[in-house]
């Protein structure tokens, strides 16, 4: 047995070890590729979810703007009604005072008539607004 024989055997052993290591490495690379494909699918699903969330957020902002506009309109109408009711209440109090004074005047023998119509004043106030 010569030195060449031992070198060839050593080379064959190293070649077999390299072959075994290549097999292990191939399995690990296959697992990495499989994980990469799964990660790619997960990233795609995440992108779709983000796009859906963005669309939902835009729709929510639109609905909030619409609700705000509706609320503003209703508040304006409510303020107008409040003003109208305050005018009517004040006028009603004045009429009640006049009626009370008229009743007291009749008891004393005096007659007082109202100088202007409440509806005329209310219409003038509505047109002013």
Q: What is the pLDDT of residues 6-16, one digit of tens each?
A: 999 999 999 99
Cα torsion at 36, 40, 42, 44 (round to 10°)? 180
> At how many degrees (to 10) do helices 118-128 and 3-108 cross?
150
CA Rg, the chain, in Å?
Answer: 47
Per-residue pLDDT at 53: 94
Per-residue pLDDT at 99: 83
Q: What is the pLDDT of residues 69-119, one digit of tens each?
A: 999 999 999 999 999 999 999 888 888 888 888 777 777 765 554 545 666
CA distance 92 to 122: 12
Question: Which residue, 120, 116, 114, 109, is CA-closest to 99?
Answer: 114
Q: Strand (E) positions, the chain?
A: none
Per-residue pLDDT at 121: 67
CA distance 53 to 47: 10
**How does residue 43 score in pLDDT terms, banded at 50, 70 and 90?**
very high
Residue pair 91/118 in contact (Cβ under 8 Å)? The answer is yes
């Amino acid at each position: 047995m010569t030195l060449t024989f031992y070198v060839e055997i050593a080379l064959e052993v190293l070649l077999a070890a390299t072959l075994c290591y290549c097999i292990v490495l191939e399995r690990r690379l296959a697992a990495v590729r499989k994980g990469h494909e799964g990660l790619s699918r997960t990233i795609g699903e995440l992108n779709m979810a983000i796009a859906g969330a963005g669309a939902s957020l835009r729709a929510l902002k639109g609905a909030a703007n619409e609700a705000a506009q509706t609320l503003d309109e209703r508040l304006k109408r409510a303020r107008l009604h409040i003003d109208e009711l305050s005018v009517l209440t004040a006028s009603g109090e004045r009429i009640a005072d006049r009626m009370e004074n008229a009743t007291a005047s009749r008891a004393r023998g005096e007659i007082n008539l109202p100088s202007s119509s409440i509806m005329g004043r209310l219409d003038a106030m509505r047109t002013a607004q």
